[in-house]
Amino acid sequence: MPETTRTWTFRRKSKARFAASRVLANPTIWPGCGVLRATPLRCITVVLPSVPEGPSRLRTGYGGPPLIRSTVFSALLTRWTYFYLYLILDIFSRYVVGWMVASRESETLAKRLIEETCAKQNIQRDQLTLHADRGSSMASKCVAMLLADLGVSKTHSRPHVSNDNCYSESRFKTLKYCPAFPKRFGSMEDARLFCREFFAWYNTDHRHSGIAWLTPEMAHLGQGETVLAARQQVLAEAYREHPERFVRGTPAVSALPEAVWINPPDPQNAQQQLLTNFQTELSHCT
């Protein structure tokens, strides 16, 4: 596969609560939705560029354009205390590439998670852009020095904008609306067991509408085109045998998006910005 630009988002939840008592008896069954409310979360986004044509800010694509991943901190509630969930997500494939449950929010733990995830994903220098909110952990000197050492670029959400990381927000809603999500976790081991089984289900079994009903693993490993071609073949055979069942004509599978964005640019503003940059460069030359 050709190299692709990757983007991760780093997400931290401020005083968010995961009511924690005990994981339900059958935590491996994950229906599509539940009835629990979602708590507002603050978000950190990580952008990972690895395309020869250069990084694209908060944009990701399949097979060539940049990929985006997201890392998150979130609080899981146990009795009289909180556990914190750190999460890294690729925003194009929606694949969870790294996570950790800890007893505190810490720049040292954030640094360790980013470092281990970059090593696991074989991230090279100047290949990754990390987009995050302006929380203390991600804005810390400790994390900034690590990113500089790894050759990772970083960006931050706009000031006073709480929804700059919709991909991580969506992921936490999926997590907290899961019917198996407990009111309280009995211990940190319970929280880790729940997250381990949930993210394994999410990566390998959950079909996502934003990526043509593929699983995140299929999109992340580049299997999407093969799977979609097989689906199209099945639909074509069904249409040949029973065309009367398809009142809208020949059926077609959904296509993978070419790119996804956080804060897509306004074309008019983009052109004006290019013109301004050109005039600035021209004035410097003269």
pLDDT digits (tens, 9 = 90+) for 36-83: 223 333 333 333 333 333 333 344 444 443 445 555 566 665 566 788
Strands (E), 133-208: 153-156, 184-185
Residue 88 pLDDT exceeds 60: yes
Write phi, then psi, for 107 (nearest 5 degrees).
Answer: -65, -30
DSSP state, residue 124: P
Could you identify the residue written with the tokens 């077609």? 252
Measured CA to CA, the distance from residue 24 to residue 44 in angstroms comes to 30
Cβ count within 10 A of residue 172: 23
pLDDT digits (tens, 9 = 90+) for 217-251: 999 999 999 999 999 999 999 999 999 999 999 99
pLDDT at 264: 75
Average pLDDT over residues 176-187: 90
Q: What is the pTM of this model?
A: 0.69
Measured CA to CA, the distance from residue 88 to residue 47 in angstroms comes to 10
Domain 6-220, CATH: 3.30.420.10
pLDDT digits (tens, 9 = 90+) for 192-218: 999 999 999 999 999 999 999 999 999
Measured CA to CA, the distance from residue 94 to residue 160 in angstroms comes to 25
Q: What is the largest CA-CA distance in the chain?
A: 73
Cβ count within 10 A of residue 100: 19
pLDDT at 26: 34
